[in-house]
Amino acid sequence: MNTNSANTDCANVNTNNVIVTRGLKKTYHDNGIPVEAVRGIDFTLTKGEFTAIIGPSGSGKTTFLNLMAGLDSPTDGEVELSGKLISSMSGKELSNYRRDHIGFIFQAYNLFPVLTVEENIEYIMLLQGIHKKERHERVMKILQQVEMEDYAHRLPSKLSGGQQQRVAVARAMVSRPKLIIADEPTANLDSRTSGDLLDMMKKLNEETCMTFLFSTHDEIVMKRARKVVTIRDGLLYNTDKSREE
């Protein structure tokens, strides 16, 4: 299945593939009985897309997302991220490549409670060996973009849920990865906060052409996505709900 970006400006900048899966399969064994969680998915995500994957519990959505993120290994098939086969990587090579090319946003925020907002955001760049001055400059810029510049020295416990998720978005984007994977990013937020967060993420997507892939049950996310695809019984279907800008 091939999806094309509806963001004309991003499409004009670069139409390179960010993620490609070919014949992707994952089989688990439950008490010796094989369970096909993902059953041969071909999928392409190009630069600048803002796409949501939806599906009921047990559909294979989380497994598919984990395979694309390199958090799980396929039983068969390939995952290509920015031109490299991550499905054949393992250990430190995979860990480093994932660190440098994928930003993660989780429903539980996953901020370090003992680190300030600034320290949380710069942590990934510290692992990448980016110089202190550049780290600080990038953090301050992204904090302005997510409207959290006045909270740089606060601990996560002093922030609301919506503010923590804004910090999580900033942390995911600050290292300029090829892909942002957002797993149920609005699950713990009220509808107004969710809408504000998604509007902010969509604006950042339009400004940076960074690619966003959501896993969600939330109608608020689906309405703002430019493309929605459905996973059911381990197979992917196009919902034919492309959004026009």
Tell me the CA end-to-end span of the chain in Å, nearest whole number: 22
Q: Using one digit for the tens of pLDDT, what is the confidence trace for 101-121?
A: 999 998 888 999 999 999 999
Q: What are phi and psi of 14, to 5 degrees?
A: -165, 130
What pTM was estimated for this model as a whole?
A: 0.86
- Domains of the chain, first to last: 8-238 (3.40.50.300)
- Looking at residue 2, what DSSP letter applies? B
Q: Using one digit for the tens of pLDDT, what is the confidence trace for 141-153?
A: 999 999 999 999 9
CA pair distance 182, 104, nearest whole angstrom: 6
CA pair distance 96, 103, nearest whole angstrom: 12
CA-wise closest residue to 173 among 209, 142, 133: 142
Q: Is 132 exposed, middle or buried (0-12, 13-18, 19+ CB in 10 A)?
A: exposed
Place of tokens 């339009």: 206
In the chain, pLDDT over 70 holds for what percent of residues?
91
CB-facing half-sphere around the CA of 48: CA atoms within 13 A: 17
Q: Using one digit for the tens of pLDDT, what is the confidence trace for 166-176?
A: 999 999 999 99
pLDDT at 14: 52
